[in-house]
Chains A and B, each alone.
Chain A
Amino acid sequence: MAQLLVIQFLITTKDNRIDMISLNNINKTYFTGSNSLHVLKGVDLNIEKGELVSIMGSSGSGKSTLLNIIGMLDNYDSGEFHLNGEFIQKMSEKKAAYYRNKFIGFVFQSFNLISFKNAMENVALPLYYQKVSRKKRNIKAMEYLEKMGLAEWAEHLPSELSGGQKQRLAIARALISEPKVILADEPTGALDSATSMEVMDLFHEINDMGITILIVTHERDIAAKTDRIVKLKDGIVDSIISNGERKKWLADQVMA
């Protein structure tokens, strides 16, 4: 099933060459009082549908800033940003909320779970904003909790879970609205290396389902597990390292 999806996607992308994320000369400056900080100085980056890409760079290089712009949590000053072929510019908060809900799933370093909602309710939350009935969304939330191996923790509050469990919960929440893109800002930053690898395995599974994933990370071994590594430096894309030809190989298999 998952493979079929990938095949289908590969065929369509080959024909249309539509990038899931397309950034063209993106600029962003922060103003704090009288100071201004030019963080992004013309970022060019294209990410295809179904790619698993990591972003690296030193602290303060603008990784999070870039991710937040892609996630429509923040706006950019100049340049062009297309998401799934659609030009994203300054839009009403209502429309932005719609896109965030429908197209994007966020995973944060600090999990960002709602403390007074139990695991199931946290996972179900994005569907709440789609006005799905409580019963339906809880059923679906349970499915995703099961996939994450968290079914027995459904009634627990986030404070009763371990870091790894919390991050799996957050990933379940990001997935429940069936987004096109998952944006993860240092998702393993608060986890030990074993748990980090588990989370990466999870991302791979999700990626195999055809969902585009963008991960900001400081860790080499995390980045090594992605298709491409984008290095940010001084506000621009410094270099892009391709991490093997996994996708191409798969496509060749299908053609033959």
Chain B
Amino acid sequence: MSIIDIDKWQEIFYALKKNKLRTFFTAFGVFWGIFMLIIMLGSGRGLSNGVSQGMGDMATNAMFMWTQQTTVPYKGFPRGRRYNFNNDDTQALIDNIPEIEYIAPRLQVFSAGENGNNVVRGERTAAFTIQGDYPDFNLIDPVNIHQGRFINDIDIKQKRKNVVIGTRVFEEMFEPDEDPIGEYIRIQGVYFRVVGVFSSKKNDQQAERENSQIFMPFTTMQQTYNFGNIVGWYSITAKEGYKVSQVLEKAIDIMRERHSISPADERAVGSFNLEEEFRKMTTLFTGIDGLIWIVGIGTLLAGVIGVSNIMLIVVKERTKEIGIQRALGAAPFSIKSQIVIESVFLTTIAGYVGLALGVGVLELINNILIQTNASTDMFNNPEVDFNKAISALVILVIAGAVAGLIPAQRAVQIKPIDALRDE
């Protein structure tokens, strides 16, 4: 029983062609099942892609911590007090929390002054956000370096007046064919040398915002813009094997201690646990995926049951023919395999068309999204990965075989003579 068995295929095509409309509707059930499964899987992927690409390459084991007003009076201080993190806090965090992988104290200067423009180069002026950062920041929330480099340790130590500019900044402040490296721009009255150009790894407005940023050494910013030893906020990642929530808890305790904040004050130290949020999101998407498979397999199952039903009818119609074949010495296995192969063939062809069309439609949607720039944080790059497509196909073949099993059994259950007598 080889696959390239003309007689077998002759019989299959004869059976399928004999009642074209019926074959079509049967095939359509399976086609629709797999088509919907693919579309849904692709959309689910689009959702998760949208969200995860919105995060770029940001470390998912990260946390952020910033200052807010106190909400509980403590040690003689009234509530509503403001305070700042400082360089000593940074050292205290490093010293007391060995679970910290990277720690990036950060500062930010927004555009200020009349009409908001804070960056000048020759005739050109524009408004950009200025970030004061440590090299570690590029490990926590990385950007693509196009030219030059990111902030380095020497910049920090020597408080150099170097900056790394986003692509939007480059476009605004330079001619397209200019080499910005080594050039100077004036930021709020102070000249800085450009040492690198970066682009965001995120998409959409987030990328737009990042590309309009300028990174300068954290220490330079503290000194140049009179921050003293103030730290704006922290980005911190936990070492592998440690939970971010543990690090966060410790960090908050240390800050409370160091800034005379009541242990009962839940609001004074603001924080965000990205790991936790990411976990919730992953769970959500796993849930969505699971739901899609359940619904998709259900739809597919309906299609397959349709195939099984039709095969039963086909067997009934072919009773006499099967009787003749058995009178001529066809073994039961030969008859059964014929029915099963027919079922698998119908299911697989219909399923394959559904698969191809589903992937095609997803591709089309993706193209439209790209062309119209419509991809968002919510929906981006809908696709089905190869493995899922293959598993869908495998499921189809198995389903086809299962659908053919009962009809095949039915075909050989009846005595040959009764089959022959059938009119």
Contacts and interface: CB of A to CB of B under 8 A. Distances in A.
A74 interface: yes
Interface stretch (A1-9, A114-122, A224-232): A114-122
A98 B6 contact: no
Interface string B299-326: 0000000000000000000001100111
A73 B420 contact: yes
B97 to A, nearest CB: 75
B324 A114 contact: yes
Interface in A155-208: 173, 177
A210 interface: no
A71 interface: yes
B416 A73 contact: yes
A129 B6 contact: no
Interface stretch (A12-20, A45-53, A79-87, A99-107): A99-107
Given A73-B420, A112-B420, A106 B331 contact: no
B415 A116 contact: no
A113 B325 CA distance: 10
Judged by DSSP, the binding face of B is helix
A220 interface: no
A125 B6 contact: no
B: contact size bracket:
20 to 34
B56 interface: no
B327 A71 contact: yes
A121 B7 contact: yes
Contacts, number: 70
A166 to B, nearest CB: 13
B325 A116 contact: no
Which of B328, B330, B334, B417: most chain A Cβ within 10 A?
B328
A115 B277 CA distance: 68
B163 interface: no
B11 A134 contact: no
B328 A100 contact: yes
Which of A100, A117, A121, A130: most chain B Cβ within 10 A?
A100
B14 interface: yes
Nearest to B413: A93
Contact of A97 (B320, B324, B330, B420): B330
Contacts of B332: 93-94, 97
B327 A106 contact: yes
B329 interface: yes
Contacts of A112: 320, 324, 327, 420
Given A98-B331, A121-B10, A129-B330, 10 more contacts: A68-B417, A97-B326, A100-B329, A101-B329, A112-B320, A114-B325, A116-B11, A121-B7, A129-B331, A134-B7
Interface of B: 6-7, 10-11, 14, 320-321, 324-334, 412, 415-417, 420
